[in-house]
Amino acid sequence: MNILILSTTNSGGAANACIRLHQGLLSIGVNSKVLVLQKNNTKIPEIYPFLEVYEPRTLFKRLKKAPRVLLFNKKRKKNLEKRPSDELFSFCETLHDIKDHHLYNWADIINIHWVANFLDYPSFFTSNTKPIVWTLHDMLLFTGGYHYLKGFPLNSFKDLILQQYTLKKSLFENQHFTIVSPSIWLKNCAENAQELYPNATHKLIPYGIQTHIFKPYTKDFARDQLNIPKDKKIILFVAASVDGKRKGINYLLDALEKIKDKNVELAIIGKNINKLNLDPQKSHELGYLSDENLIAMAYAAADVFVIPSIEDNLPNTVIESLCCGTPVIGFDIGGIPDMIIPGKNGEICSTIDSNCLADLIITSLKTKYDRAWIRQNAVEKYDLKIQAESYLSLFKFILSQK
């Protein structure tokens, strides 16, 4: 069984989830390879960059398409000026025909992940002959180009969204692919868009992570490693880019202002922390961390991890925190309720509100959570092997139906 996983990149939130699945499949003996548009530095095996293939016929096809796509890109750029800088919008057309790569012919199944600006829908879906498993990481598959709904200026993009949606509908109407959603929320969203892909089937398979990396450390040890004081209550926030509106950092900062407790401090991981203008006396800026062992120590160092996202799928950060034994507070949105059991491994805010968030932070800091139980419960649900074996069963079933 040869599985080809498609991802625009091998780094970032969705890419991390994709690469973890790849590692899980390799660990149980599945012949998995990942094709990315352009590879970043990585020691993970069997990851291949599409743009390093320079076969003459491939180059000719790209050059032939280039004037049309480049002209269209110029129009896109003008349209995207109406878009908030932290809101993504992606188009169906690119210069890249994945079927030109030799790994396409090698594969028995194509597992599509986050492929914005990589997968060219028209060239792929008009002549693809391989079974497709499409793993969702956001809403892009069933929208007219936006990745998440909240905060996106729909009225400004109305015509463009309709154009892209109509194109997808024409390409998907005869496709028989399987859509895998990591969260119940995203699965429900995908099923509600069934008119777009009437022959698709749906599965729910949560993400998996390396539980031997994301594991408990003693709090004192972790704080020593990260230079965090031992006599404070530490609230942790983690995001790839901390200033993204969808990640909700403003709700957390407002909540911490309302708490007014000198013993409560913020630790924060991610890019663009300098844009927040945090009080250095009340915060610990850990910056962008790529070392997963250090990230695990940050979770272990915290009294509670807060994820104030206003829209999200099944955030890797929540799973990571729980596997480190650290309770989590989040809003009642997306896939967050799939993971948090109030009073057991964290708390859920019933409303998107900084007052509610402040109250639950105070509650959580007074609650004696069983961190060993939090860890064990998370491992039983999100260990990488569990996810990999679920995908293997799905792949076997699909191939048995051919």
What's the whole-model pTM score? 0.93
Choose among 51, 204, 223, 200: nearest CA to 136: 204
* pLDDT beyond 70 at 7: yes
Section 240-253 average pLDDT? 93
Looking at the fold, whether 165 and 200 belong to one and the same domain comes out as yes
Report the percentage of the chain scoring pLDDT > 70. Answer: 91
pLDDT tier at 13 (50, 70, 90 boundaries)? Answer: confident
Q: How many residues does the chain have?
A: 402
Query: How would you write the chain as a 3-class SS string?
Result: CEEEEEECCCCCHHHHHHHHHHHHHHHCCCEEEEEECCCCCCCCCCEEEHHHCCCHHHHHHHHHHHHHHHHHHHHHHHHHCCCCCCCCECCCCCCCCHHHCHHHHHCCEEEECCCCCCCCHHHHHCCCCCCEEEECCCCHHHCCCECCCCCCCHHHHHHHHHHHHHHHHHHHCCCCCEEEECCHHHHHHHHHCHHHCCCCEEEECCCCECCCCCCCCCHHHHHHHHCCCCCCEEEEEEEEECCCHHHCHHHHHHHHHHHCCCCEEEEEEEECHHHHCCCCCCEEEEECCCCHHHHHHHHHHCCEEEECCCCCCCCHHHHHHHHCCCCEEEECCCCHHHHCCECCCEEEECCCCHHHHHHHHHHHHHCCCCHHHHHHHHHHHHEHHHHHHHHHHHHHHHHHCC
Looking at the fold, whether 149 and 18 belong to one and the same domain comes out as yes
Whether 250 maps to a domain, the answer reads yes
**What confidence score (pLDDT) does residue 81 get?**
66
Section 357-374 average pLDDT? 97
The separation between the first and the last C-alpha atoms of the chain, rounded to the nearest angstrom, is 13
* pLDDT beyond 70 at 85: no
Looking at the fold, whether 281 and 343 belong to one and the same domain comes out as yes
Token pair belonging to 354: 């900084």
Residue 271: how many other CB atoms lie within 10 Å: 14
CATH number of the CATH domain containing 324: 3.40.50.2000
**What confidence score (pLDDT) does residue 41 get?**
75
**What confidence score (pLDDT) does residue 57 get?**
55
Whether 267 maps to a domain, the answer reads yes
Looking at the fold, whether 26 and 166 belong to one and the same domain comes out as yes
Token pair belonging to 285: 């800026």
Looking at the fold, whether 175 and 321 belong to one and the same domain comes out as no
Q: Write down the mean pLDDT value for the chain.
A: 92
Whether 104 maps to a domain, the answer reads yes
* pLDDT beyond 90 at 54: no
* pLDDT beyond 80 at 72: no
**What confidence score (pLDDT) does residue 21 get?**
98
As a whole number of angstroms, the distance between CA 264 and CA 256 comes to 8
In angstroms, the Cα distances linking 142 to 136, 180, 285 are 10, 13, 37
Whether 213 maps to a domain, the answer reads no
Section 153-160 average pLDDT? 86
Looking at the fold, whether 195 and 302 belong to one and the same domain comes out as no
Whether 214 maps to a domain, the answer reads no
Looking at the fold, whether 151 and 252 belong to one and the same domain comes out as no
Section 225-231 average pLDDT? 96
Phi, psi of 330 (to 5 degrees): -155, 170
Q: Are 3 and 395 in contact (CB under 8 A)?
A: yes
Instruction: List the domain range (segments joined by +) for residue 197.
Output: 2-208+383-400
Looking at the fold, whether 128 and 246 belong to one and the same domain comes out as no
Looking at the fold, whether 378 and 396 belong to one and the same domain comes out as no
* Per-residue pLDDT tens digits for 292-346: 999 999 999 999 999 999 999 999 999 999 999 999 999 999 999 999 999 999 9
Looking at the fold, whether 152 and 129 belong to one and the same domain comes out as yes
* pLDDT beyond 90 at 88: no
Q: Are 33 and 6 in contact (CB under 8 A)?
A: no
Whether 265 maps to a domain, the answer reads yes
Whether 199 maps to a domain, the answer reads yes
Structurally, the chain folds into a number of domains equal to: 2
Token pair belonging to 277: 């203008």
Section 212-225 average pLDDT? 97
Residue 133: CA count within 13 A, CB half-sphere: 26
Looking at the fold, whether 102 and 224 belong to one and the same domain comes out as no
**What confidence score (pLDDT) does residue 83 get?**
65
Token pair belonging to 87: 């809101």
**What confidence score (pLDDT) does residue 92 get?**
92
**What confidence score (pLDDT) does residue 43 get?**
86
Report the percentage of the chain scoring pLDDT > 90. Answer: 79
Q: Are 395 and 109 in contact (CB under 8 A)?
A: yes
* Per-residue pLDDT tens digits for 162-193: 999 999 999 999 999 999 999 999 999 999 99
Looking at the fold, whether 251 and 307 belong to one and the same domain comes out as yes
Choose among 135, 226, 138: nearest CA to 179: 135
Whether 248 maps to a domain, the answer reads yes
* pLDDT beyond 60 at 53: no
